[in-house]
Amino acid sequence: MHLQYSISNRIRELLTTSAHPKLVDMVNAAKREITGLEGGAFYINEFKQVIVPTPQGYLYAGEYHKELRFDFDGTTIGPSAPDGLRPGDEWKGPHVGIPYVLTAACDDVYYKQHPTPKREVRVHLSDDVGAAAATKLAKRLAKVKGTGGGRIYINEECEFFAPINDSSGLRYEYLGHLDNDSWFSQWEMPGDAP
């Protein structure tokens, strides 16, 4: 298994590990079912669901609870925030997560579904947990991300991070852990992945 790790805007390194054969088997089984081939991209969402993109849509390959960690020059790179990392600090972990959008008003979070090639559906957190709970989380995230909303990510360890463009170029900023905040219900698979 490998991870393309961004060291900076201009440098990426391919990190590898052989510590997750069960996960590799899960992804390969899903890929074989649809394409007849093995290998390729997959995602693990915040509910620990393994999601495999295929030309026909997304496949649910099962759940995986072991944390994916990679060695980078003697440093462990993984999805959990290191001790001492605070919201607003640079996120040096993998830039792999499930995309969501913080609304421009910073009062809600949503993801997009495409049930047909011509239809886009926005699924809002406020529809799932109520406006007050959605606004509370959105405002917390916006304190770090800034006003105007935009793309945010949550990874399999429920860590939020977001791309930030500034004078130094593109970097990722840590937005905090999901903690006890209200969040979307666990996805029903297959077909409803963002």
Give the domain extent around 157. Answer: 2-177
Whether 151 maps to a domain, the answer reads yes
Q: What is the pTM of this model?
A: 0.89
Q: How many structural domains does the chain have?
A: 1
Answer yes or no: is 161 within a domain.
yes
Instruction: Check if the beta carbon of residue 99 is closer than 8 Å to that of residue 151.
Output: yes
Q: What is the mean pLDDT of residues 89-118?
A: 92
Burial 157-191 (b: 16+ CB within 10 A, else e): bbbbbbebeeeeeebbbbbbbeeebebbeebebbe
Q: Report yes or no on 189 lying in a domain.
A: no
183 assigned to some structural domain: no
Mean pLDDT, range 96-115, rounded to an integer: 93
Distance CA 52, CA 117 (A): 19
Which residue reads 């559906």 in tokens?
Answer: 121
Q: What are phi and psi of 58, to 5 degrees?
A: -100, 140
Q: Which two tokens stand for residue 188?
A: 């029903």
Question: Residue 114 domain-assigned?
Answer: yes
Structural domain contains residue 86 = yes
Which pLDDT band, with edges at 50, 70 and 90, does 34 fall under?
A: confident
The pLDDT score that the predictor gives to residue 178 is 97
pLDDT (0 to 100) of residue 5:
72
In a domain, 184, yes or no: no
Q: 63 pLDDT exceeds 60?
A: yes
pLDDT of residue 191: 47
193/107: higher pLDDT: 107
Task: Tell me, yes or no, whether 137 lies in a domain.
Answer: yes
